[in-house]
Structure 1
Amino acid sequence: MLGAGILTGFAALGEGLVAWAGWPLPGPVVGMALLWAALGLRVVRLHWLLEAADGLLGVLGLLFVPATVGVIQFLSAGAAWGAWLLVLVAGLLAGAGVAGVVAARLVRPEGGPG
């Protein structure tokens, strides 16, 4: 119970800090960073968290069920997925190509024409 309370407390602390400061970050991520700092400073001991962390890791697969159901629910969009994927890949290739051309023009080998 101690480990679960500590993990929940740091998640809540991160949520509260993000809400108070107005940061555009997920609260649990800030809470995890605070927990990491507390572990590094030895304010929190790792053995306090081990049992609760092992229990959470045991059911980690269940946490992905809602996301999977959401993806499957929208698979009926059909051809729209293909079009979006095409736009995504084309944008990626165009951006990478432009970045490559700009980098090649800005970085010239020593002793080359310039």
Structure 2
Amino acid sequence: MALKLKAITWQLCVLSLISFTGDSIVQWFHLPLPGSVLGIAILFALLSLGIVKAAQLQMVTGFLLKHMAFFFIPITVGLMNYWDFFCVNGIGLFGSMAVSLLIAFLVFRITGPKEKKGE
């Protein structure tokens, strides 16, 4: 149990450090994007280059994915403060989300695992 807790703590520290690095770079260079997005790009680069292996982060990422809905509750409740904004700009926001979803789907389809004909 102690070894598992140590592994989860280490993995969470690695993800936090990557996120902090993304936030810091955005602040230092005044980049027009969220630090979390840059952090995800850094994590993607580290995974692609093989510097960090997906298996090395598997315990904490599995936990975070399993409990992802819990992390969105405060955001959803906070959105109620901006109900008027969503009433006015809802169609534009929905359109941009639909386009983003389509782009993400196409990128995954192009770069994702290929299906074999027998499967």
Q: What TM-score do you get using the length of structure 1 for normalisation?
A: 0.63
Residue type at the aligned position of 1:44: V
CA distance in 2, matches of 1:40, 1:31: 14
2:105 matched residue in structure 1: none
| Runs of 4+ more than 6 Å apart | none
CA distance in 2, matches of 1:37, 1:68: 30
- Provide the identity percentage: 28
Equivalenced residue count is 85
Q: Does the aligned pair in 2 maintain the 1:15–1:30 contact within 8 Å?
A: yes
CA deviation vs aligned residue, 1:79-108 (integer Å, no higher than 9, x gap): x865x269x57xx9xxxxxxxxxxxxxxxx
Instruction: Compute the displacement of 1:13 (Å).
Output: 0.4
Q: What TM-score do you get using the length of structure 2 for normalisation?
A: 0.61
The structure with the larger Rg is: 1
Matched, 1:2 2:29: no
Matched, 1:39 2:44: no
1:11 matched residue in structure 2: 19
SS in 2 for 1:49: helix
CA distance in 1, matches of 2:27, 2:89: 35
1:50 matched residue in structure 2: 58
Of 1, 21, 35, the residue aligned with 2:29 is 21
Residue type at the aligned position of 2:77: V
TM-align CA RMSD: 2.5
Change (3 A) 1:85 1:17: closer
Question: Unaligned stretches of 5+ in structure 1?
Answer: 93-114
Question: Unaligned stretches of 5+ in structure 2?
Answer: 1-8, 96-119
Q: Does the aligned pair in 2 maintain the 1:2–1:48 contact within 8 Å?
A: no
